[in-house]
Structure 1
Amino acid sequence: MSGRDLGSGEGSRRSSRWWGLLAVAVTLVRTQLTTARGRTLATILVVALTVANLVLVTGVALALADEGEADHDADARIMADDADIHGSVTGVEPPRLGESPDRAERIADRDGVDHASPVLREPIRVDTPDADGSAYLLLVGVVPGDEPSTVAKLPTRGLEDERAPADDAALVLSRTAAAELGVEPGDELALEGAEHRESATVGAVEDGPDDEPPVALVHLEVLQSLSGTEGSGLADEVLIWGEDAAIQEGAAEAYPDAALENDGAADARALFGDGLALATSILSLVVALGVCSLLVATTAGMRVEADRRTLATLGAVGFPTESRLLVVATTTIATATAGAILGVALGVVGIRVTNALATATVAPEAVAALHPLLVPYALAVAVVSTLLALPYPLALAARTDALAEVGR
């Protein structure tokens, strides 16, 4: 027989032995679910509750970090990529989207899309009638939808002001802008455009971005008229509310060369830019690793003590120590993995319940965010915790005296 045949036979026997050990481990897990159900379920529940807590706390941290990133509550936005296609003065201003009102309307007409609004930003001088107050505000032009929304961190509901005269535009001012002008809801203002003035009425004063320049919302057509862009329909971006699939199809049809950014999902990178959120997530990670490792080690050790006769029997029929340790490690990892999967499901449910309770009581929006990376992250933490816990049950299993246990 050649050396190649000998090597092949040895590899086949080694593979069969490993598969046999895994089969023994799976059988042992199934047996524990009936004969030692309490200890097995205890391990599963310990891991599940720890992982669920990790998912929930990390989701809260993600929401906390992502809160300062977006200035709107849209599900996606379209940004100009190519200045030559989307209309811009090259070298003077960033590229903008052209024909935005018509194209946004086509997007909004699709099934699955709730609303689409072009957004135009222009610095405009705003005067009070008595000329006592005057300031340059960053006016943000939007098209309000049927449902309330947030743009530039200001709610759009104040753009429909019944107190305003028919010829007046309605403004939603941030508190910073209102304080600088010294005005309140119902006051009249004058907007100084490039070629004409526009009368306006303060429809609402809202909490806005206090750490940014004074900002105000206005109807898109008013701002386009003031800035002279109504003919080309220029806009900085188009915000879209609706379902992901419908948004992608509508954006691809309306602006095939523009960039579509999904703003509905939390940005995991924002976590590293927020000190409090990062500290919260790190603390939850340390607690999850520590608590899960200690409790898995304890419950796995209890299982090893209860299974000493089974391990001794394996030794008596010829399984070496390393093979018995592999069985212990496999059963522990399999049980912990089951707990981790259950924990991820509980964590997702916990985030949804927390958001529902928060928005129904004290919070204006979700306080915890779901992110696809939370699933592999939580599973990885559970696996690492189990690996950290393994030395204790393995040490107990290695000290099992086969002759003494079989003779009992």
Structure 2
Amino acid sequence: MLELGSRRTANRLTGADARRALLSITGVAIAIMLMTTVSGIALGLASGSTVAADGVDYWIVPESGGTSSVAVSVSGPQLGQVHSTAASLQRDEHVDYATPVSMRVIRVGNPTTGDEEYLLAVGIVPPESGADRTVAGLPTGPLQPGDPHYANGEYNGPWTGEAVLSNGAAELLNASTGSELAVRTGGQNRQLRVENTSAGGMMSGAGSIPVALVHLSELQSITGSTANDQADQLLVSTNDQSIRADLQGIYPRSQVITRDGVSGDAVSTSSLPVAMALAALTTAVIIGVLFVATMMGLQVTADRRNLATLTVVGFSQRTRGLLVATETVATALIGGLVGVGLGYLGIVFTNLGAAELVGVSEIAMFRPELALYGIIVAGLIGLLAAPYPVWLSSRASLIEVLSR
């Protein structure tokens, strides 16, 4: 019966009733395409944004901001009084290096070329020792050690204006080492100078984000977060595992993440990607079920004479219902396969648009699991849509149909 249903579906695609079958497939394909594309964006956003740093063993983050996406981290929960906290940690003989990290999207211009772009600015306190570490994929060595502008909380110290750009950010701004950049904020113009460019940077999904590494206090001044001395997280480098218990008590409602607990490909527990994926799934199922049930219902109505003929040759009502259900699921699965392919193209064009408009190379990602996910959802759509055409097939009167 399953084989017969599959053959009837294949024959219908090339027969006189091809229009109805193609409409059913198109409805499922569009639903799965949208779901795949949105899910790909959700996966890209869900890539862990806890800032990677060489030699850093622990990250202290707000309770709800652990492995959230970059889009959430730049405006999520904050830690306060971070300079003094980091300085206190740095005085511990078991700690090799501690720095707050703030991540903010800022608009930076190159007065020489006229280019203006949005960058992800990462503010840190470079190590006093002058050791060249790597934070957010960029070296700290070109930045002056310490945080001169902080000036013990007064924010009136010298403005260094130093910045290390990722290659992606440098290309966007048409800047190189020694370039002078301008940041406009709060009616004030702040100047930055490119001290170095690097091939590193942060990742979102499978792509890199244009990043500028700067002094924390200067980023706080640019973004207006000096009042409570705020940052997104604290990075702590240590060889002593026993210090973790002390780190957990520094801030209430915070968590300590180890190096092993963070992966660039880890799926986030942030509500944003999850909500996007659930909304896409719900929309795809509702649209797909309504479309398939309606079109297959019309198909069954038009095919009542053939169904009656099957009754004459000995097919029971239950067998005919199974046949119709098989055709419905097969149609949905074909639509699912087409939709996955279209969804992949949707992700490609989404990334091309993001690269062109905002300079982020890839905000969506495609994994083989997405293809399997799309096909499974298509099968679910077929199963949920099947009861209506099966019910219609059971209402066909043998005498009424054959007498026409």
Correspondence 1:343-382 to 2 at 5 A: 343-382=339-378
Identity of aligned residues (%): 28
Q: CA deviation at 1:91?
A: 9.0
Deviation at 1:316, TM superposition (A): 0.8
Distance 2:95 2:176 in 1: 28
The 1:319/1:173 distance shift into structure 2, 3 A limit, reads same
The answer to whether the aligner puts 1:62 opposite 2:81 as a matched pair is no
Partner of 1:15: none
2:231 to 207, 212, 218: 212
Show the counterpart of 1:185.
192
Kept in 1: contact 2:50–2:262 (CA 8 A): no
| 1:58, distance to aligned residue in structure 2 (A) | 2.3
8 Å contact from structure 2 (residues 5, 323) kept in 1: yes
Q: Displacement, 1:32?
A: 0.9
Report if aligned partners of 1:174, 1:208 keep a CA contact under 8 Å in 2. Answer: no
Amino acid at match of 1:185: L
Residues 182 and 190 of structure 2 are in contact (CA less than 8 Å); yes or no, is this contact kept in structure 1?
no
Q: Does 1:396 align with 2:392?
A: yes
Amino acid at match of 1:391: P
**What secondary structure sits across from 2:283 in the alignment?**
helix
Give, in whole Å, the separation in 1 of the partners of 2:293 and 2:194: 68
Q: Output aligned runs, 1:248-397, within 5 Å.
A: 263=264, 265=265, 267=266, 269-270=267-268, 272-274=269-271, 276-397=272-393
Match of residue 92 from structure 1: 94
Deviates more, 1:290-299 or 1:52-61: 52-61
Deviation per residue, 1:231-278 (Å, 9 max, x gap): xxxxxxxxxxxxxxxxxxxxxxxxxxx979863x5x4x32x313x443
| Alpha-carbon shift at residue 161 of structure 1 (Å) | 2.0
Aligned position for 1:27: 7
Question: 1:387, 1:209 → 2: CA distance?
Answer: 54
Counterpart-to-counterpart distance in 2, 1:335 and 1:378: 14
Which is higher, the Rg of structure 1 or of structure 2? 1
CA distance in 1, matches of 2:351, 2:323: 42
Q: 1:183 to 1:49 in 2, by over 3 A?
A: closer
SS in 1 for 2:364: coil
CA change 1:209–1:356 in 2 (3 A) is farther
1:78 deviates by 8.1
Structure 2: any 5+ residue segments left out of the alignment?
Answer: 58-91, 98-130, 196-213, 238-258
Deviation at 1:285, TM superposition (A): 2.0
Once residues 120 and 376 of structure 1 are traced to their aligned partners in structure 2, the CA distance between those partners, rounded to angstroms, is 43
Distance 2:55 2:308 in 1: 67
Corresponding residue SS for 1:185: strand
Alpha-carbon distance in structure 2 between the residues aligned to 1:187 and 1:396:
71
Q: Deviations over 1:190-222 (max 9, x none)?
A: xxxxxxxxxxx99xx77899752799xxxxxxx
Are the counterparts in 2 of residues 79 and 260 from structure 1 also a CA contact under 8 Å? no
Amino acid in structure 2 at the alignment position of 1:27: R
Paired residues, number: 280
RMSD: 5.1
TM-score by length of 2: 0.54
Q: Secondary structure at the match of 1:334?
A: helix
Cα 1:326–1:373, aligned 2, differ >3 Å: closer, same or farther?
A: same
2:36–2:343 CA contact under 8 A, matched in 1: yes
Q: Is the 8 A contact 1:304 1:397 kept in 2?
A: yes
Residue type at the aligned position of 1:148:
G
Quote the Cα distance in structure 2 between the aligned partners of 1:79 and 1:259: 12
Residue 128 (structure 2) pairs with residue 148 (structure 1): no
* 1:46 equivalent among 7, 10, 27: 27
Classify 1:393/1:376 alpha carbon distance in 2 versus 1 (closer, same or farther; 3 Å). Answer: same
Shift of 1:183: 7.2
Contact 1:174 1:209 in 2 (8 A): no
Post-superposition Cα deviations, 1:277-298, rounded to whole Å, max 9, x if no partner, equal 4333322222211111111100
